[in-house]
Amino acid sequence: MRLDHIAIACRALDEGAAWLRDRLGVSPEGGGRHPLMGTHNRLLSLGPGEYLELIAIDPDAPAPGRPRWFGLDGFSGPPRVAGWVLRAPDGTPAPAGSAWETARRGDLSWRITIADSGRMGGNGVVPALIDWGAAPHPAERLTDHGLRLGGLQLSGDGAADAARLADDPRITAVSGPEGLSATILTPRGEVVL
Helix, strand and coil content of the chain, in percent to the nearest 5, comes to 15, 40, 45
In the prediction, which pLDDT does 132 show?
93
DSSP 140: G
In this structure, CATH architecture of domain 2-145: Roll (3.10)
Taking the domains of the chain in order of start, what are their residue ranges? Answer: 2-145
Per-position pLDDT tens, the chain of length 193: 999 999 999 999 999 999 999 999 999 998 899 999 999 999 999 999 999 999 999 999 999 999 999 999 999 999 999 999 999 998 999 998 999 999 887 778 899 999 999 888 888 899 999 999 988 899 999 999 999 999 999 999 889 999 999 989 999 999 988 899 999 999 999 999 9
Query: Which stretches of 26-174 are assigned E, i.e. beta strand?
Result: 29-34, 39-45, 51-57, 80-87, 98-105, 108-115, 128-131, 148-155, 171-174
**In contact, 8 and 92? CB cutoff 8 Å:** no
